[in-house]
Amino acid sequence: MRSNTSMAVRDQRFTVVDLPPICPAVLDSFHGCATVRRTGEVTWYHRALRFHLTWTADDDWFYELAGAGVERRGSVVRFGDVDFTYLLRAALGHLWLDVSADWLVELNQVRTEVAGGGSGPVLPPGRWTGGPEVVMIAVARRQGLTGGEIRLHTPGEPETRRQAAVAPGQAMLMTGPDLAYDLGTAHAVDDGEGSQDTLVITVSRSVARRGALRGLRAAS
């Protein structure tokens, strides 16, 4: 039987979910992101990991990463020495994915720092659009900031379909390549500096495997 969350994602194509406790190693790893953009009041740090996700004969998901001339594969997804597998499984555990297909997954870490009294978008402008079949936007940590709600909309339509505040330890989970999203403006509280650590996971259908269609399977 599918969970209420799975049904909500299927019927509405978006819902807010609770995450498992985020371990200190994951939180600390946001400080390892490289600077990608800076304005007068906001600095964004970002890094991304891309890999393929394939269902195996052992009835589990297999991750394959190729980069920097070194191929890595197995059942664990890591940034350096930090294990992100449990967060990926938390995102996919509410869904049913076609196990006959290969999936391309991109895991993004974004750290946003806002100067005291300043404001700005939580995510760097110009990068976050619709397209993937599954998107999870998770707030790992927020300090000294207000605002930054997630807005969902359909390209070409003027009205926002949904606007939701996602608390630390929660995520917006959405399906449908026709949905686009952005995070609104965040404001530093009083005169102190504020920050937010955001995890964005996208899942897109890659190349279908040969052979008979094996149906759908919960990705947990």
State the residue range of the domain holding 33: 4-209
What integer pLDDT is reported at residue 46 of this predicted model? Answer: 92
What integer pLDDT is reported at residue 188 of this predicted model? Answer: 93
What integer pLDDT is reported at residue 30 of this predicted model? Answer: 95
What integer pLDDT is reported at residue 127 of this predicted model? Answer: 55
Q: What is the pTM of this model?
A: 0.83
Enumerate residue ranges in the chain where pLDDT < 70.
1-12, 66-73, 126-131, 155, 157-161, 177, 207-220
What integer pLDDT is reported at residue 187 of this predicted model? Answer: 93
Question: Looking at the domain assignment, is residue 218 inside a domain?
Answer: no
Dist CA 81 CA 191 (whole Å): 36
What integer pLDDT is reported at residue 175 of this predicted model? Answer: 82
64 neighbors 76 (Cβ within 8 angstroms):
no
Question: Looking at the domain assignment, is residue 214 inside a domain?
Answer: no
The label of the residue with tokens 């929660």 reads 170
145 neighbors 188 (Cβ within 8 angstroms):
yes
Measuring CA to CA, which residue among 39, 26, 132, 33 is closest to residue 85? 26
Question: Looking at the domain assignment, is residue 220 inside a domain?
Answer: no
| Structural domain count, the chain | 1
Indicate the SS3 state at residue 85: helix
Question: Looking at the domain assignment, is residue 161 inside a domain?
Answer: yes
Question: Looking at the domain assignment, is residue 164 inside a domain?
Answer: yes
The H or E element containing residue 155 is none
What integer pLDDT is reported at residue 66 of this predicted model? Answer: 57
Tell me, what CATH number does 168's domain have?
Answer: 2.60.120.620
Dist CA 197 CA 44 (whole Å): 10
Q: What are the residues whose beta carbons fall under 8 Å from the beta carbon of 18, sequence distance 6 or more?
A: 169, 170
What integer pLDDT is reported at residue 138 of this predicted model? Answer: 93
Question: Looking at the domain assignment, is residue 217 inside a domain?
Answer: no
What integer pLDDT is reported at residue 72 of this predicted model? Answer: 64
Dist CA 38 CA 36 (whole Å): 7
The CA-to-CA distance between both ends of the chain, in Å, stands at 14
Question: Looking at the domain assignment, is residue 129 inside a domain?
Answer: yes
Helices then strands, counting H and E runs in the chain, come out as 3, 19
What integer pLDDT is reported at residue 210 of this predicted model? Answer: 34
